[in-house]
Structure 1
Amino acid sequence: MALSAKLDLRQTQALVMTPLLMQSIRLLQLTHIELEQFIEQEIEKNPLLERDDTTGEHFSPDERGFNTDRISGDEREFGRGAVGSDGEADNPLGGQADQWLMSGESTSSGSMSDTFDSSLENIFPDDPGTHDFIAGDLASQWKSSSGDGYLSTGGEGFNLEQVTATPETLRGHVAEQIIFAFASAGDRLIAAELADHLDESGYLRADVEEIAARFGVDAKHIEKLIAILQRFEPAGLFARDLAECLSLQLRAKNRFGPSMKILLQNLDLLAKRDFHSLKKLCHVGDADILAMLQEIQHLDPKPGTAFSSGIADSIVPDVQVDTASDGSWRIELNPDALPRVLINNSYYATIAKTKTSPAEKTFLSECLQSANWLTRSLDQRAQTILKVAGEIVRQQEQFLRHGVAYLKPLNLRNVADAIGMHESTVSRVTANKYMLTKRGVFELRYFFNAAIAATEGGEQHSSQSVRHQIKQLIDVETPDDILSDDTIVDLLKEQGIEIARRTVAKYREGMNIASSVQRRREKKAQASACKGDGKSGFIRHVGVEFC
């Protein structure tokens, strides 16, 4: 069969991802902070867009308050003073004010100094007749300038965050202590070099031999400097490992003895809760072992993280759920997380009437089209979030009323089919969105849980509720009746939950719960400590109680 080129006409359906559609999809999955940044960029580029800063009411599902019409300038009130019929502002002094202003009295610093027969600085420390002339680009940065700063506004609009001190860093905190700890300039130089090798946790990550060779000193001298640096605040800095970090903090508290030293040398046994071996090594009893364990748990394994400059973003819920007077659920969009943008139609009409070039008309038309798209997209985004949140509340009503034990299994497809949307749309809506309920603030993804099969064809259980039941079973166990993973499986089967042992182990480790062997060792040690007198060894020195 010979190959030949030919034309073929076919009719097919395909989804065309236009730039506006891609932008709308991206807008749907933006978080509150990312959406604010996006809107600020659009307002900066588009002269027809303005923010609506009206606040006060919460928008209900049927009345969200989306307006795209701009209030005309004639309808605004700028807070001017009352104006009389003659066009002059009302003044209690009447014409006397004008006479006083036109009387020729000079208010300059020179004339006032001659009048008072003294320097103006002795009378008025801040001369109101003088002004510091600062360039326009710098005037806004100085709160004491004569522009729109702090002094000119009487404190209104003063931004305290712009004048607060820079957050203290770990490097700066250590540098201040180095100045007073070392008398020799050479030692201060070496100490500064060692401080540069601190990681974010405050541990020293330096090669002592390499630094000693570079500075031409003995390695023992470097170790002496490190010993001095290890006495810096907070305790635990310049440690080489976890055991040394904990020992430095215990020395600072005067609670580092031979038994504690042996315990820190065997942290692997402590992690396994092998109290039997630790008692033999440390030559102490159960009460002392538990007292030392409690003392270690109150230490900071990463003392350098206290100087980290990271700022945690506060969570702003997108949806608020509350109980109505008739017992139903009232679902509202949070106005604080719902930016409102207005289109300045009056400005567009004014510019459109003027004589503009074709390029300017094209730019203005594109701005209007972009502004209309943004307002419609924000409205559509709010409606979609409201639909998804309403279906989640309907599906998880028992959780909102009775708690996590009643959380139902739910997936994205269930919600998508109920509201008539695609599963990917629901996935984008629930990403990094939060819901405020009477039980706290939850991410929308929290309500989606895998289904755990039920015994004998019963109702399925959510993975989150199963985790909650596992934790409840472990919390009530006694030292003589520690539940193994197999025992937990049997108990859950009695409650109608079909689950594998490896799944129980995975959920238990995810909740940071120790194994049954480690829990048995710890609880038996606590029971033995409660039966003893509690007046020997380390526990007498620390003064803690367990019963």
Structure 2
Amino acid sequence: MKLRVSSTQTTKQKFSSTLRGWLPILQANLDSLVETLEPFVQENPFISVKSGSETPDKHFEKKSFFSEVAKTSVSDTIEALTLDKKSLYQVLNEQVNPPLFPTEKSQQVAYEIIENINSEGYFEIAALSEIAKKLGIKVEEVEKIRQRFAYLEPLGIGALDLKETFLFQLQDLSLDNELYNMVEMLIINFETIESFSKEPLFHDALAIIKRFHNPPAIDFMEDEKEVIPDIFIYDLEGAIEVRLNDAYYPEVILDTEGLDENHSFVSQKIKDAKDLIDALEMRKATLYKIGLMIVEYQYDFFFGKAIKPMKLKDLADDLGRNPSTISRAIAGKYLSCSRGVIPLKQFFATALEEDISNSAIKEYMIELVKNESKIKPLSDIKLLELIEGKFNIKMVRRTITKYRQQFNIASSSERKKLYTLKF
């Protein structure tokens, strides 16, 4: 067997300062890439964007090799939205303007916050200090801007957790003071909500809470549909070939005919246009390299064997990139091969043991929660015990907590309250 590539591509080792601010281009799904480019087009009178082919390669049957995992994972089932509907991130970016964000600085912070909102609509708390360090400001300043997200659509977006997203949504309601205070009290004391059941306004307040959205980006989470892969893997008589879905990429067209390219405004816009084109090429080169490395690490998989756990950090080190950048590069992206259409994330399960990937651990955890007692949900400690017994391994509780949060599964106490609300 031999590995054959369709073309030679090189990857820049580091983002330029300009491209670092355009990570949404790397993060965007292939079918939402044109919409992601739209803000750049609006700011540059000399460029236009031509959509790529709307008929992706039909060489492979559009089946999901990991359909069962996709059905249970909130994060992995947030696929491309319909072509006539804006993405969550586009909706948020369009709202970053006065009066909520009146200064360039406040807008810059807001854009950074949006980049760290996950697909369920929650803000990653660890990013507060990262954003502050990156922009050279205090954490308190970042948090002050984040609090303004309470006034953005969808309601509750940018909250840290269930309680805060409900509090954000509460601010949008016009209620009399007594009812407002009761709803707020129930949210804040969600763990002991039953203790307020005899309060006069309890049922009215509970009815309002039931109308709140959770997760806040739920309206952007659609059922599975046919997805557009970024990468194609072909087996051509024993030789594996890696190709990008080039036909689907948009084309940036630069038109400067009749203009004085030495004029400062024109020359700057030309530079911006070339940077945008470079950003698209960098996106291609990064994903192409990822495809090559997947084939290198997972060669046997493409001939019928199981996936071997890969470390995201190893790939990041090899590409000379930050793991968070690679994580964005693979999020919501797919690879098409003879075994189906597979999320790139499935190839990067960190091994807990030599033959046990965290994908198996997560699947088992989800199954446990799915079948748990609605009266006495499983705590993280109990989940840990059951998982250790099942796989004969040693883990720590915080790992279970991390996995649970990745799948937007509430804590045992919160699940108990949610079960109570549901039934």
Instruction: Please state which band the TM-score falls in when normalised by the shorter chain.
Output: 0.3 to 0.5
TM-score, normalising length from structure 1?
0.35
TM-score, normalising length from structure 2?
0.43
